[in-house]
Amino acid sequence: MNEPVVVRNLRKTFYDEGRGEIKAVDAVNFDCREGEIFGLLGANGAGKTTTLRMLSTILTPTSGTATIMGHDVVSSPQGVRKNLGFYSATTALYPRLTTRETIDFFARINQYPADLVPERVEHLINRFGLTKYADARIEKLSSGMKQKVSIARTIAHNPSILIFDEPTVGLDVLNALDVQESISELRSEGKTIIFSTHIMSEAERLCDRIAIIHAGQILACDTLAGLRQSTQQHYLEDIFVLYVKAGQATI
C-alpha cells in the first residue's frame, strides 16, 4: 500500500549572489504513514522549512519527487493542496476578516463541499472554543486565540495530511502546550501529520517517528526507541548532537 506521503531524492538548490549555489535540500527520502506524527528535527537552516515548502507546493523541487495522497507536488499541485493543511509561522491570517469568515474562506477555497461549509465552520468554532470570538476580527484577537484560529483554518477543509512547520515558535508555554494538544488530537482522528521543530522535548512528546535533518540531508529516521537503540543514548538532545556531529564529519 502506498504511504500518504512519499518523498524520494528531493533536492532544492538556490542561487545566491554572494554565496553562489546553495543546496538547501539534498536528496531527501522519507515516507509518512497514515495516522502518525512524523517529526522533522533540525537546527535553524537545516532544510526543514524548504522541504515542507516543497511538499506544500510553495516551492518547486530542483529534482526528485514527492507525492501527497498520490498527487505529485509538481504535476498536480492543486490535488496536493486540496489534501493538505499547511501551518507555519509565515502563514498568518487576514487581520480584517472575522474568525468565522476566515474559516469559511479557507474551507471554500480549499474545495470543501459548499453546502457543508456552514456546518463545518460552526463545528470548528465550537471545537476550538472560539464561540465568543466568532465574529471578532482577527486583528483584535490575542496571540493564543489567533493560534487556535490558525489551526482551525488549516483543517477547515478537513485534509488528510497536515504540515506543522515550527508551530510553537514565539508562543508562551501554555499556548505551546495547547498547540501540541491540538496536534495530538488531530492524530487521534487519523490525520497524518508532518511536524517540524528544533525543540527536542516537543519531538519526544509528540512524534511517532523522527527524522534528523542537517545541512539539507536526513541523517537518521526512526522511532525514538529505535534512535535510542541505534545510538545507545537516552536523551533526544544527545542523539541529535551525535548524528549532527557525525554528519558534519561526513560532509
Partner 1 sequence: MNLNAIRILYWREIRSALRDRTIVTNSILLPIFLYPLIIWIAYTGITFVSGQNEGLDSRIMLKDVPPAHEPLKREFESDESVVLVTSADPAAALSNGTLDAIVEFMPANSAPTIPENFATRITYDESRDASNRAKSRAAQKLTRYREKYLEQQATKLGMSRADFQNFWMDERNVSSGRAVGAFMVALPIFFIIMLAVGSMHPAIDSTAGERENSTWETVMTAATSRANILIAKYLYVATMAFVAAFLNLFAMIFSMGTILGPLFGSNLSLRIPIRSAPVVLIGAFLLALFVAAGMMILASFARTYKEGQAMTSPFYIALIIPVMFLQTPGLDFTWRIALIPVANVMMMIREAFQGIYHWRLIAITLVVEAACVILALRIAMLVIQHEDFIMGSYNGSFGKFIKERLFK
Is residue 94 part of the contact set for partner 1 (CB under 8 A)?
yes
Residues from 52 through 81 that contact partner 1 (CB under 8 A): 56-60, 77-78, 81
Q: Looking at 100, 120, 157, 214, which residue binds partner 1 (CB under 8 A)? A: 157
Q: Contact 228/202 with Cβ under 8 angstroms?
A: no
Which region, judged by CB under 8 A, interacts with partner 1, from 1-9, 37-45, 103-111, 212-220? Answer: 103-111
How far is CA 233 from its chain centroid?
Answer: 27
Least distance (Å) between residue 69 CB and partner 1? 12
Closest CB to partner 1 among residues 70, 226:
70
109 binds partner 1 (CB under 8 A): yes
Q: Is 82 in the site for partner 1 (CB under 8 A)?
A: yes
Where on the chain is the footprint of partner 1 (CB under 8 A)? 56-60, 77-78, 81-82, 84, 86, 88-97, 101, 105-106, 108-111, 137, 153, 157
